[in-house]
Amino acid sequence: MAAPAPLNQARIDAFQRDGVVRLEGVFSPAWIERLRAGLERNIREPGPHRREYSQPGAPGHFFGDYCNWQRIPEYRDFFFNSPAAGIAAALMGSRKVNLFHEHVIVKEPNTAERTPWHHDQPYYCVDGRDNCSLWIPLDPVARESCVEFVAGSHRWDRWFTPMKFVGVEYERDEADYESVPDIDNHRADYDLRSFELQPGDCIAFHFRTVHGAPGNLSASTRRRAFAARFTGDDATFTRRAGETSPPFAEVTLENGTPLDSQTFPRLLG
């Protein structure tokens, strides 16, 4: 599962420096069709973690689901046989890559709901800096509908209280957590990155990179995305106080141990 040619040193450096980078044309049409088929299966047969984020009666539809790769063969095939794990390894500079989980996020046409500003690692049962998410669009994405990222925020050494996608903070007691800054009203203060994307492209970003997303105001184009999440060499398991997402209640690893397990299989290394 070697990383494809478009993943050159400049893009690896950008990922390490900025916590986010666009990668063009790294997945073949066959892999995109495979993920689309898996997502349609996922929609027909939702898992226990499916969430509805649209307001009742609102136009459009915003929903998500995660942790279905073990039961959806298209997702499993992608993780174990596509270039994704090799891409993550190169970006992280890791010899080892574990599958963390997948998350599908769909905004149908005319969906106004935003995804609130947040970063992912406080949600997760993972410590360490070697990690990578690949946000893979299954439809063309205009810049005005794309996820936005605060470049360099993965190096702020700040932990923000997780936000539910309906805009409510999780309950967390840790003293070192703080609310996400008011980015929307101070946009000029941040280096914001968003991209125009085609199927086959992806956005790679660090678990600590702050990001949010507008609604999908297109009248006709869906915004389906498959987020593949990976951990690397220094990642260890931690059971955080309070609610986590995904909850991974079945995992019995000890805090501080590698993630290697049936839930988090090793893909490389």
Structural domains of the chain, with CATH: 9-268 (2.60.120.620)
Q: What share of the chain in percent tops pLDDT 70?
A: 94
Q: What is the pLDDT of residue 1?
A: 46
Say how far apart CA 223 and CA 204 lie, in whole Å. 17
Q: What is the pLDDT of residue 5?
A: 53
E strands along 46-96, which residues? 51-52, 62-66
Q: What is the pLDDT of residue 98?
A: 98
Q: What share of the chain in percent tops pLDDT 90?
A: 87
Non-local CB neighbours of 141 within 8 Å, separated by 6+ positions? 195, 196, 197, 198, 223, 225
Q: What is the pLDDT of residue 168?
A: 66
E strands along the chain, which residues? 20-23, 51-52, 62-66, 97-107, 115-118, 126-127, 131-137, 148-150, 159-160, 177-178, 192-193, 202-205, 211-213, 223-231, 236-237, 266-268
Q: What is the mean pLDDT of residues 203-227?
A: 96
